[in-house]
């Protein structure tokens, strides 16, 4: 994919099997994330995420929205939990995000109200804690709030 987007690669730093994952983030498209077992796989997966993200923007004639990048650390409880992308999507659906569409690799979400934040969630049975942290930072959802909603999803 020929692109002018800045891609940040983050190596796992702890948690359930975190050392074996790479998380990718498209800096120019807030909320656009992916992951892979190798750096190369993560870079290929972010291509799918960027294409889907742009499709979501085009579908709604949305603009690109900057996100205030906050530094935070994921709680120990969330770092050690094995959480699937399906569970993450359920939580975000409960807090005002709708599922726009899916590809083989990603689920694309969009907030129901302005400013219409978009998110790409890599489809996996074990979402990287680093990726979960980036998603929570993007949405402003706290760890305790996430866990409480996750438990209510049963």
Structure tokens at 88: 């993450």
- Does residue 112 belong to any structural domain of this protein? yes
Q: Is residue 24 part of a domain?
A: yes
Question: Phi, psi (5° rounding) for residue 102?
Answer: -135, 150
Strands ordered across the beta sheet of 7-11: 7-11, 22-26, 33-36
Report yes or no: 121 and 88 within 8 Å, Cβ to Cβ: yes
Q: Is residue 121 part of a domain?
A: yes
What pLDDT is stored for residue 82 in this prediction? 87
Q: Report whether 100 contacts 59 (CB < 8 A).
A: yes
In the structure encoding, which two tokens stand for residue 127, read together?
A: 């979402």
Per-residue confidence in pLDDT tens, the chain, 154 aa = 454 788 999 887 655 555 678 999 998 888 899 999 889 999 999 999 999 998 988 888 776 555 545 556 667 777 778 899 999 999 999 999 999 999 999 999 999 987 788 999 999 999 888 889 889 988 889 999 999 999 998 7
Give this prediction's pTM.
0.79
31 lies in some domain = yes
The pLDDT value recorded for residue 57 is: 84
CATH number of the domain at 90, please: 3.30.920.30
33-36 and 22-26 strand pairing:
antiparallel
Instruction: Give pLDDT, residue 14.
Output: 57
Asked if residue 130 belongs to a domain, the reply is yes
User: What pLDDT does 68 receive?
Assistant: 47
A 10 A CB-CB count for 23 gives: 27
Within a domain: residue 1? no
pLDDT at position 45:
95
132, part of any domain:
yes
Orientation angle between helical segments 85-94 and 129-139, nearest 10 degrees: 10
Structural domain that includes position 81: 7-153
Rounded Cα gap, residues 74 and 112, in angstroms: 26
What is the total count of domains within the chain?
A: 1
């Amino acid at each position: 994919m020929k692109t002018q987007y800045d891609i940040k690669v983050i190596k796992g730093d702890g948690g359930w099997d975190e050392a074996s994952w790479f998380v990718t983030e498209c800096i120019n498209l807030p909320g656009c994330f992916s992951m892979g077992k190798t750096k190369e796989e993560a870079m290929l997966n972010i291509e799918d995420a960027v294409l889907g993200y742009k499709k979501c923007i085009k579908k709604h004639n949305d603009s690109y929205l900057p996100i205030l990048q906050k530094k935070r650390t994921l709680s120990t409880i969330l770092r050690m939990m094995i959480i699937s992308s399906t569970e993450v999507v359920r939580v975000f659906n409960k807090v005002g995000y709708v599922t726009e569409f899916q590809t083989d690799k990603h689920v694309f979400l969009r907030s129901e109200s302005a400013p219409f934040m978009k998110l790409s969630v890599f489809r996996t049975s074990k979402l990287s804690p680093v990726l979960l942290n980036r998603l929570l930072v993007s949405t402003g959802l706290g760890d305790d709030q996430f866990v409480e909603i996750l438990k209510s999803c049963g």
